[in-house]
Amino acid sequence: MRRILMAALLSVVLGACAAAQMKIDSEQAPGAELGRLRTYGWLPNDSPKAAAVNELVAPLVDRQLQTKGYGRASDAPDFQVGSEIVVERSTQVSRIDVSTPGMPGYRAPGGAMMPQTITTTRELTEGTLIITVVDPRSKAPLWRGWAEAELNPKANPHDRAARLAEAVEKILAKFPSRQ
């Protein structure tokens, strides 16, 4: 049950509609020598939430890293990979002045000028998928990439899966290739 719940959560995280923009960025730790890396493994994590996220993300990351020339190693990898999701909710308030040009508002009987505005509010849910590469010995981060997008909980499961795959591909496009 927990696995299904986390699968639904992650699919919603980056399951925004195709028209929504996905912001991709990354950072490399100062002095990190990514060119020496050849093999990778996954960071161990006992959290049920992290295990469910990794179950969905790991095959996508594995495919991208192997395409880039990295091999998966069960013992003594050169780097370890971890992933996580963050979901944030906010309210966006917009006020639009609809007064006629040259006439900043209207005058209430016997009162001051009052602007004519329309106020709208919109509930936003934004999700971030983060992929982190760490040194397996020191556990120090070497590289981190992330995708941020507004979420669309109404997207169908096929579109959500495609959006997640697109996010992983775009994030790891910023990670150096071995080839």
Q: 72-128 pLDDT, tens per residue?
A: 998 999 999 999 888 888 788 887 766 665 555 555 566 566 667 788 887 777 889
Instruction: Give me the domains of the chain, ranges plus CATH numbers.
Output: 2-90+124-172 (3.30.160.670)
Of residues 122 and 17, the one with the higher pLDDT is 122
Question: For the segment 29-76, what is each residue's pLDDT rounded down to a tens digit?
Answer: 999 999 999 999 999 877 777 777 778 899 999 999 999 999 999 899
Residues 94 and 104: their CA atoms lie apart, in Å, by: 18
In this structure, are residues 26 and 168 in contact, taking their beta carbons and an 8 Å threshold? no
- Angle 48-67/2-13 helices, nearest 10 degrees? 50
pTM for the whole structure: 0.73
Distance (Å, whole) CA 34 – CA 177: 9
At 10, give phi and psi (nearest 5°). -65, -40
- Which residues on neighbouring strands pair with residue 94, listed in sequence order? 120
